């Protein structure tokens, strides 16, 4: 079955080269192999719109269509013999495989910026065909499994259609560099449309425009000789095979039906006997993960505990409260804001991302630590409010997505709690008195108070509790916000 892109190319070739020829005006019963060979000889002398002679590949495409026409005519008994039996294909030049080295690939990525950097990373380190990359939708990106689903391709004129063949519909593993790049790309395009890579008007990127403008500029900036964008795909194969990767795995990643293409094009890279280290390891040295430190520690230590979790176990993803970064009115600098978000939001986000693949197997649960400050605003604490508010809605969103898949996600929202982080407040009697005045229970919370509620949400007793932000606030939210008039009047 032809793809839309291939059908479009054949249609253009037939209309431009075959139908105007005298051969096409003759009855099919009067055409022999001599007529066809003379027609092909004339084609070899013709020039295309670019002023160059029509190449063997295009002529062979015409020959392929003629074979179909005459074999169909013979099958339908319109002609006694098929003249194409005596017509040979032209010899085509072997496709040039000229991949970038790892050092050159790194220079390319360093030279690219913004969306171009992400696109180049995907092309080089996932091995996608350019038209597959430009057809990617956000629904195709599985950050939990760190995979890209290839389900479509895009053609400049034929539009979006199926990939090249059935084996091209595949799941491609992402390296950390690609994951980080696509996470950044979400902020650029996810709210503007379904496609991962968009042009300025919100439509799909045009490959020809990228190739002629952006790609050339990147090559020049990286001080690299001119090579086609498609060499990025060849680069993926060469880098993986030269580092000892399984050829069958590489074939699957690239969407090949079998090993034939791998052997034909990349044998000289797979013959190298030495193994210089996996591609992922070498990339991590040049492009360290952008996950915050707390997430990196979880990946090394915390995730191992999740792997051993039983069916009833839960992974509690906690983010400690801080007094830092609570400033308002422009007092919170970029560094302090980053620290606040890194501790109170990024730790929750990346921790959940590490835990969820394992919790999907164990059917456990997540309990995030939000805050009453994530349910409303505070004076002088805008950064903290923003971080905890994000945790609150992040919890709700995950609950919607993973509840039906057997993983419950809830959060607790404590009020003023006695910890090292709040010690400076407790030392101020006026501040402490103002806090306690708002708490009907008459005292601040302790860590044990919060831990008991977390234990409940993580237990089988809460098996039907999902997406809840449980306030652990001593009755703070029972009030409508008005002061205690009776106490002020001396009657309470």
> Alpha-carbon distance 492 to 486, whole Å?
5
**Burial environment of residue 206 by CB neighbours within 10 A (0 to 12, 13 to 18, 19 or more):** middle
Nearest to 231 by CA among 245, 215, 247, 246: 215
Contacts of 361 (CB under 8 A, 6+ apart): none
Q: What is the SS3 assignment for 451? A: helix
Query: Is position 384 annotated as part of the catalytic site?
Result: yes
In contact, 414 and 445? CB cutoff 8 Å: yes
What dihedral angle (degrees, nearest 10) is formed by the CA atoms of 286, 289, 293, 296? Answer: -110
User: Cα angle vertex 181, ends 180, 187, to 5°?
Assistant: 100
Residue 438 half-sphere exposure, CB side, CA atoms within 13 Å? 15
Measured in degrees and rounded to the nearest 5, phi and psi for residue 432 equal -60, -40
- The sheet that has 141-142: what strands, in order across it? 141-142, 147-150, 170-173
Contacts of 178 (CB under 8 A, 6+ apart): 121, 122, 125, 126
Least Cα distance to 161 among 189, 192, 134, 201 occurs for 134
Q: Is 118:185 a contact under the CB 8 Å cutoff?
A: yes
142-168 as b/e, with b when 16 or more CB fall inside 10 Å?
Answer: eeeebbbbbbbbbbeebebbbbbeeeb
Of 350, 377, 373, the closest CA to residue 296 belongs to 350
Beta strands (DSSP E) in 49-115 are: none
Among residues 8, 236, 249, 384, the one annotated as catalytic is 384
The one-character DSSP state at 198 is: B
Residue written as token pair 């190449």: 55
Q: Which residues are catalytic?
A: 384
């Amino acid at each position: 079955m032809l793809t839309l892109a291939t059908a479009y190319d054949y249609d253009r070739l037939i209309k431009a080269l075959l139908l105007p020829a005298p051969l096409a005006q003759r009855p099919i019963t009067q055409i022999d192999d001599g007529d066809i060979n003379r027609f092909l000889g004339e084609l070899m002398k013709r020039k295309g719109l670019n002023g160059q002679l029509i190449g063997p590949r295009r002529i062979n495409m015409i020959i392929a269509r003629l074979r179909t026409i005459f074999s169909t005519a013979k099958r339908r008994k319109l002609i006694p013999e098929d003249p194409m039996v005596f017509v040979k294909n032209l010899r085509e030049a072997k496709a040039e495989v000229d991949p970038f080295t790892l050092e050159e690939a790194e220079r390319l990525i360093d030279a690219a910026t913004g969306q171009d950097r992400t696109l180049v990373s995907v092309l080089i380190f996932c091995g996608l065909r350019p038209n597959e990359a430009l057809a990617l939708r956000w629904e195709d990106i599985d950050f939990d499994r760190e995979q890209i689903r290839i389900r479509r391709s895009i053609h400049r004129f034929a539009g979006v259609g199926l990939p090249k063949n059935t084996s091209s519909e595949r799941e491609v593993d992402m390296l950390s560099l690609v994951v980080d790049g696509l996470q950044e790309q979400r902020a650029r395009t996810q709210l503007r449309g379904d496609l991962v890579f968009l042009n300025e008007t919100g439509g799909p990127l045009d490959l020809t425009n990228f190739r002629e403008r952006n790609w050339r500029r990147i090559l020049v900036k990286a001080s690299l000789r001119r090579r086609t964008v498609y060499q990025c795909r060849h680069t993926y194969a060469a880098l993986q095979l030269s580092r000892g990767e399984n050829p069958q795995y590489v074939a699957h990643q690239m969407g090949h039906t079998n090993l034939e293409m791998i052997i034909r094009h990349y044998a000289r890279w797979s013959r190298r006997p030495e193994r210089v280290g996996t591609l992922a390891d070498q990339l991590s040295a040049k492009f360290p993960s952008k996950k915050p430190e707390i997430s990196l520690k979880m990946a090394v230590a915390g995730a191992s505990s999740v792997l051993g979790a039983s069916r009833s176990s839960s992974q509690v993803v906690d983010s400690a409260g801080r007094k830092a970064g609570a400033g308002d009115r422009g007092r919170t600098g970029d560094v302090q804001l980053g620290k606040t978000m890194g501790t109170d939001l990024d730790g929750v986000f990346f921790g959940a991302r590490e835990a969820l693949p394992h919790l999907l197997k164990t059917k456990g649960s997540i309990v995030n630590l939000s805050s009453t400050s994530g349910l409303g605003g505070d004076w002088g604490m805008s950064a903290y409010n923003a971080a905890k508010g994000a945790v609150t809605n992040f919890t709700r969103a995950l609950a919607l997505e993973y509840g039906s898949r057997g993983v419950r996600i809830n959060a607790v929202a404590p009020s003023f709690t006695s910890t090292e982080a709040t010690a400076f407040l407790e030392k101020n009697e006026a501040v402490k008195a103002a806090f306690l005045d708002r708490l009907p229970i008459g005292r601040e919370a302790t860590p044990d108070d919060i831990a008991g509620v977390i234990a409940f949400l993580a237990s089988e007793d809460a098996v039907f509790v999902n997406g809840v932000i449980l306030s652990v606030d001593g009755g703070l939210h029972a009030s409508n916000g008005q002061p205690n008039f009776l106490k002020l009047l001396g009657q309470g």
